[in-house]
Structure 1
Amino acid sequence: MNIIILDDYQDAVRKLDCARLLEPFNAKVFTNTVKGVGQLSVRLRDADIIVLTRERTQISRQLLEKLPRLKLIAQTGKAGAHIDVQACTDQGVAIAEGVGSPIAPAELTWSLIMAATRRLPQYIANLKHGAWQQSGFKAASMPANFGLGSVLHGRTLGIWGYGRIGRLVAHYGHAFGMQVLVWGSESSRQKAQADGFAAAESREAFFTESDVLSMHLRLHEATRGIVTAQDLARMKPTALFVNTSRAELVEADALLGALNRGRPGLAAVDVFESEPILQGHALLRLENCICTPHIGYVEQDSYELYFRAAFDNVVNFVAGQPSNILNPEVFSGPARAG
């Protein structure tokens, strides 16, 4: 069995403890990303099994049709919109799902919130250039003393989506003395209220009242572009918008325009519509936007957890005992050639 592990940007996977699980097999790791179907089909043409690093590579029907040997996609974490599940099933390719943890993305979210509100990236960057206690943010259009930063205590933390990550972030906010305000589905709001948090009276009130607003929704057709330019325009000029979930939750170009207009005054984002982003990306050029390279889950404990589960699924599949298969109906059809 030829096993290919894609998109290991930091060449970390082969150094994980769980990498020993694949030592008996012919496994190859790619540390760079290719996007086109043609390039991917060349890279993967001899693969019997692909291990996907989260959502870094799109698996489309067009690509699958060029990979007649492929039998299994082992997903780190849960399968998402990056995999055409129906096409996999039609082509006889099994998808094995893994496990995940909300801790690392929740902690990154909180790190970004604290860094942004205290202007840490700006202070650090300016100190390296010899400027003492200078954060920038002196444009006339900005609120008075915007560059000083602010504490979180006593301010309102808005959370859209009260799942595993959103719930953790809500509790972090409570520990810091923030007023937590939750928006989302009826069930999300009810769960938040059961935990002692307030539900926003309306979507409009949610955006208007939040000093920090953090997105924690899954991406699917109903949530794509769910945050509009009109929503962002309701935010305070001192407010912070945080997105560590999916860039596509926000209407295309809405955040860029909102930041240029000063409502909200700040943003911190870990996700982009196309990744890796190019050096000249518009958000990177804004002083009131903190950008990180989609590192919500990128830390050692999460990597061990995610890849161990994926590699266990690979070992089980090779042994004829497939585990955690998303589309088990593939086993009732004809086996793939190769």
Structure 2
Amino acid sequence: MTRLRCAVLDDYQDAARSLADWPRIDTRVETRFLTAHLASHDALVDAVGDCEILVVMRERTPFPAELFARLPRLRLLITSGMRNASLDLAAAARHGVTVCGTASNSEPPAELTWALILGLARHIVPENNALRSDGPWQRTVGADLHGRRLGLLGLGRIGQKVARVGSAFGMEVLAWSPRLTPERAAEGGAVFASSKEELLERSDVVSIHLVLGDRTRNLIGEAELRRMPRTAYLVNTSRAGIVDQTALLTALREGWIAGAGADVFETEPLPAGDPLRTAPGFLALPHLGYVTRRNYEGYFQQAVENIEAYLADSPVRLLS
């Protein structure tokens, strides 16, 4: 029996092979693991055009309509998580491609949010760099969190977890989103901010936890950044498109805010030489929010389960 071909894309850490029981589908599926990012459609088609099954990691490789048209053999596409805005699901359906997802834990991005907040407030990277290079002993004065205000743009699963930690630090937690109500804010452990502007003006740390969409794209631009106190920090572990990246770069260069932390970018991997790589007061990470062993084990184990279910003509965890 001819085996189907499967490719796991963007396996940057070369982790997928060891975190799931791929051999159990070996008799029906030949699987290969691609650790390098394929930036162009031509490169992707050359590498996986012979595959009936693809496993993708979040939005690392977008799948617009034109890409489905160039992969006529593709029959099953599996994404980590149950939401992936970079997949054209209508185009997938038109080309007869079944699209499935996996579970994804909300704790890792909440934890990484606090890594960024603490890193900014206590200048952890510059102090560590100075120590490792025999530089000055203690160069900076940290910002307090206790008694300050944490402003959350978005109070969903991740935002609520971030709110609880903020309360544990002794911070007053404010929250706003386009559909948030005072009652839901209180249930999520936050004080309701009546407007985005109020939250920005009153917060010492602003953390973004919104879904990117038409209502939230460029939600934070020049006017919003100028409303923030000059001593405030902005943290974005959600999606880069929520913040105008040009305005953010200007804000950092001109000192409108004390600093910013981000785990998400408009183009990923962030191109070499991008000015954000060297922006002052910018603590940047390469989209590590969901990258933990527990999440990866869930993604890849469920990817194998999804393949088995598809082969049994009973696909599960369908995206629509």
State the TM-score bracket (shorter-chain normalisation).
Answer: over 0.9
Shift of 1:188: 5.7
Question: Deviation per CA, 1:155-187, whole angstroms, max 9, x where unpaired?
Answer: 100000111000100001001100000010333
Structure-to-structure mapping, 1:1-338, within 5 angstroms: 1-24=4-27, 25-135=29-139, 147-187=140-180, 189-327=182-320
Give the equivalent residue in structure 2 for 1:142.
none
Looking at structure 2, the residues matched to 122 and 50 of structure 1 have their Cα atoms a distance apart, in angstroms, of 41
CA contact (8 A) 1:81 1:220 kept: no
How many percent identity over aligned positions? 37
CA contact (8 A) 1:181 1:198 kept: yes
Question: Deviation per CA, 1:107-138, whole angstroms, max 9, x where unpaired?
Answer: 00011111110000010011111123344xxx
Looking at structure 2, the residues matched to 156 and 275 of structure 1 have their Cα atoms a distance apart, in angstroms, of 31
Shift of 1:18: 4.2
Corresponding residue SS for 2:310: helix
In structure 2, do the counterparts of structure 1 residues 298 and 158 end up closer, same or farther at CA, with 3 Å as the change threshold? same
CA contact (8 A) 2:164 2:189 kept: no
Question: Which AA in structure 2 matches 1:170?
Answer: A
CA contact (8 A) 2:12 2:36 kept: yes
TM-score, normalised by the number of residues in structure 1: 0.90
Looking at structure 1, the residues matched to 23 and 219 of structure 2 have their Cα atoms a distance apart, in angstroms, of 43
Structure of greater relative contact order (alpha carbons < 8 Å, 6+ residues apart): 1
Looking at structure 1, the residues matched to 166 and 221 of structure 2 have their Cα atoms a distance apart, in angstroms, of 25
TM-score, normalised by the number of residues in structure 2: 0.95
Corresponding residue SS for 1:148: coil
In structure 2, do the counterparts of structure 1 residues 188 and 66 end up closer, same or farther at CA, with 3 Å as the change threshold? farther
CA contact (8 A) 2:218 2:244 kept: yes
Looking at structure 2, the residues matched to 261 and 23 of structure 1 have their Cα atoms a distance apart, in angstroms, of 56
Which sections of structure 2, spanning at least 5 residues, go unmatched?
none
Shift of 1:151: 2.2
Corresponding residue SS for 1:258: helix
Give the equivalent residue in structure 2 for 1:141.
none
Looking at structure 1, the residues matched to 23 and 260 of structure 2 have their Cα atoms a distance apart, in angstroms, of 41
CA contact (8 A) 1:210 1:239 kept: yes
Looking at structure 1, the residues matched to 181 and 40 of structure 2 have their Cα atoms a distance apart, in angstroms, of 38
Looking at structure 1, the residues matched to 127 and 87 of structure 2 have their Cα atoms a distance apart, in angstroms, of 41
Looking at structure 1, the residues matched to 182 and 102 of structure 2 have their Cα atoms a distance apart, in angstroms, of 28
Looking at structure 1, the residues matched to 197 and 56 of structure 2 have their Cα atoms a distance apart, in angstroms, of 39
The Cα RMSD (Å) is: 1.5
Q: How many residues align?
A: 316
In structure 2, do the counterparts of structure 1 residues 21 and 304 end up closer, same or farther at CA, with 3 Å as the change threshold? farther
CA contact (8 A) 2:58 2:80 kept: yes
CA contact (8 A) 1:158 1:206 kept: yes
In structure 2, do the counterparts of structure 1 residues 282 and 75 end up closer, same or farther at CA, with 3 Å as the change threshold? same
Corresponding residue SS for 2:87: coil
Looking at structure 2, the residues matched to 287 and 99 of structure 1 have their Cα atoms a distance apart, in angstroms, of 37
Which sections of structure 1, spanning at least 5 residues, go unmatched?
136-146, 328-338
More displaced, 31-40 or 50-59? 31-40
Corresponding residue SS for 2:180: helix
In structure 2, do the counterparts of structure 1 residues 79 and 17 end up closer, same or farther at CA, with 3 Å as the change threshold? same
